[in-house]
Amino acid sequence: MPLRIPDRLPAIDLLKKENIFVMDDSRAHNQDIRPLSIVILNLMPLKITTETDLIRLLSNTPLQLDITFMKLKSHTPKNTPVEHMMMFYKDFEVLKKRKFDGMIITGAPVETYDFEDVTYWDEMKEIFTWAKTHVQSTLFICWAAQAGLYFHYGIPKYPLEKKMFGIFEQRPLVPQMPIFRGFDDMFYMPHSRHTEIHREDIEQNPYLSIIAEGEESGVSVVVARGGREFYVTGHLEYAPRTLDMEYRRDIGKRDDVELPKNYYRDDNPDNDPLVRWRAHANLFYANWINYYVYQETPYDINLIG
C-alpha cells in the first residue's frame, strides 16, 4: 500500500522515478480505511532530502500511512525555502491537540552544544513530554536519540576525539525482538556524529535496554517502554550518497575531516559508495511500523496514551 502524503511534496516525483508507490491526499481520500498517522519532526538542515529519505523507507509496508510534517515555532530553518515550510509543515502548537500512531524525530546539526544551550531546547522538552501521551511509538534518530535519552532518563553524551563517520557493522543483541525480525546476525548502519552515549550509563537505568551495538561505533539501538520509544544513534535512513555529500561539503573547510570508513569502494572517494545498509534499513522501518505501531495502536486513535 502507498503512503498518503501532502499534494505537491517534492518527494512524490522523486520517489515515483524510483518506482516507489506513493499516493497524494486527493486520491487517498477515496479509500475507506483508517490510515496510520505518522508525524515527522524534521530537524535536519536539508529538509527535502530528509523527507525523501524517510518516505522512501516508510513506503515499504502494506499499510497506508498518513504523513504529517512538524516544525518548531522557536527555530527558522536556513537551508529550506520558506514557501516549502509554509506549505508542508505545521507548528507543534497546531498539532499538539492531536494524537499519532507513530512519530519520527530526526537528528539536528547541534550535537556539539550542551542540550540546554540549544536555542529550541525548551520546545523540544515540551514535544518529548507530549509524545509520551500522544504517540504510540516514537523513533528518535541520532541527535534526537541523545536528546531524548538525556531528557527522559538523564543519560549524558560525551564528545568523541574524532568524528564517527562512515558505515559500521552492528550486532542485534536481542535478535528475537520483532524489530529485528528477518535480520541477519549482523547489519550495517551509517554514522555521522561528534558525540556518543556510553553503555555503562544505559545499563544502570532499569527502564532502558541496549538491543544493538557495534564494536567500533558503540551503542546503536536502545529501546524503552516496551517499544514505545526507540533510540537509534546512526542514520539507517541515509541515501547512498549522503555521506559523500557531507564529506565533500566539509573537506577543506575543517581540519578534522576524514574519509568516511567502509564507504567508498576500495576506500577511494573517486569510486561510488558500496551500499550495504539499505536492505536492513527497509526491514527495520517496516518492522517498526508493523509490530510497534500498527499492531499496538488502538483503532480509536484518541485512546493512545
Q: Which of 126, 136, 129, 39 is nearest to 89 (CA)?
A: 39
Place of cell 534526537: 144
Cell of 225: 517502554
Residue 148: phi and psi, rounded to 5, are -65, -40
Q: Which of 64, 140, 74 is nearest to 103 (CA)?
A: 140
Catalytic residue (one of 134, 152, 191, 235) = 235
237 is known as an active-site residue: yes
213 is known as an active-site residue: no
Catalytic residue (one of 142, 213, 229, 280) = 142
Catalytic residue (one of 111, 134, 237, 280) = 237
Residue 151: phi and psi, rounded to 5, are -70, -50
Q: Are 241 and 273 in contact (CB under 8 A)?
A: yes
134 is known as an active-site residue: no
Residues 6+ apart with CB under 8 A from 240: 272, 273, 275, 278
Q: How far apart are CA 144 and CA 124, in angstroms?
A: 9
Q: Are 107 and 190 in contact (CB under 8 A)?
A: no
Dmax (CA) for the chain in angstroms is: 56
Cell of 260: 568516511
Place of cell 522557536: 74
Q: Tell me which residues are annotated as active site.
A: 142, 235, 237
